Amino acid sequence: MAEIYRVELLQSGFIVWFILAFMLLLAEIGWRVGNHVAQKEAAEKITTHDTYQGALFGVMALLIAFNFSGSVSHFDARRDLNEQESIAVSKVGKVIKALPSVETKGISSTYQSYVNVRVGLFKKPVSIDQLEAKFSQLGDLSEKLLQDKAKIIRDTRSSNPNVIDLVGRLSVAVDSMVSIHERQVIASKRHPPAIIFAATFLLCFITSFVSGYTLGMKMKRDWVLTTLFALVTTGIIFMMLNLEFPAVGIIDFDSFEENITSPSK
């Protein structure tokens, strides 16, 4: 269910617009509070606010940098797995094509179905209702491929050496493809704890309020810098989320997805 919510939030863009709007709102609230305090206390400038603001900005920058670095690392790992899966799927197709058709009738059909589902897994727009069903279908087809492979091994024990050698290659290729798919599924769920994301968002909101509050204490207003800060921060978070949750956002693996083709194509 969490996967469905994640897809919906990324595709709707709600979370990005929410962060941007809330940062600007808190900056305005902070300015009004600071301005009220400054007028009440007749304070024109409080230098200690700059110290606290700098400390908060430093913590926020450190946390965002940590999250962004982790997101890039996770994206690279999934991209490498995607490349490996593309090669493995292609290898299975080539071996099936090289074997006599009479021996591969069952596994060829299963392989074709697997490729069709896999290629359409993240076709835009991603269907929220069908995403989990497709993952489950790929798992069932993986098991069927292993069963078909075992049947071919049994049926070709007395065949000529060339066929036996190809069947051996097919066995290794199918095992590799299924293993990589399972690692893909695990990698797609490997994300930082939710509390890390929550802390990042919370710090963004706090720094927006503090920035507005500091300007209010100085009885100044600078909407250009305030808006620019909110836009840049939101943009970084947007990229971070798309790197952390690729394929369902604006970042995808199209260059590798196109290489996952069946022997009939």
Q: Distance between CA 142 and CA 264 in Å, rounded?
A: 19
Maximum Cα–Cα distance for the chain, whole Å? 97
The pLDDT value recorded for residue 1 is: 43
82 domain-assigned: yes
Number of domains in the chain: 1
Q: How many residues does the chain have?
A: 265
Residue 32 lies in a domain: yes
| Alpha-carbon distances, residue 92 vs 36, 86, 109, 156, 212 (angstroms) | 71, 10, 13, 17, 60
Q: What residue numbers bound the domain in which 19 lies?
A: 2-257
The verdict on residue 262 lying in a domain is: no
* CA angle centred on 98, ends 96 and 102, rounded to 5°: 70
- Burial degree of 121 (CB within 10 A; 0-12, 13-18, 19+): middle
Q: pLDDT by residue (tens digit) across 67-86? A: 899 889 988 988 888 888 88
Domain annotation covers residue 113: yes
Please, are residues 135 and 118 in contact by the beta-carbon 8 Å criterion? no
Decide if 96 is inside a domain.
yes
Q: For residues 237 and 139, what is the distance between their CA atoms, to the nearest angstrom?
A: 33
Residue 213 located in a structural domain: yes
The answer to the question of residue 263 being in a domain is no
Q: Is residue 103 part of a domain?
A: yes
Q: What is the pLDDT along the chain (265 residues), one digit of tens a residue?
A: 455 556 666 666 778 888 999 999 999 999 999 888 888 766 555 555 666 778 888 888 899 998 899 889 988 988 888 888 888 998 999 999 888 877 787 899 999 999 988 887 777 777 666 777 888 888 899 999 999 999 988 888 888 888 889 989 999 999 999 999 889 888 877 888 888 888 999 999 999 998 888 888 878 888 888 899 999 999 998 888 888 887 777 777 666 566 665 444 4
Peptide bond into 125 cis (omega under 30): yes
Query: Is the pTM for the entire model greater than 0.85?
Result: no
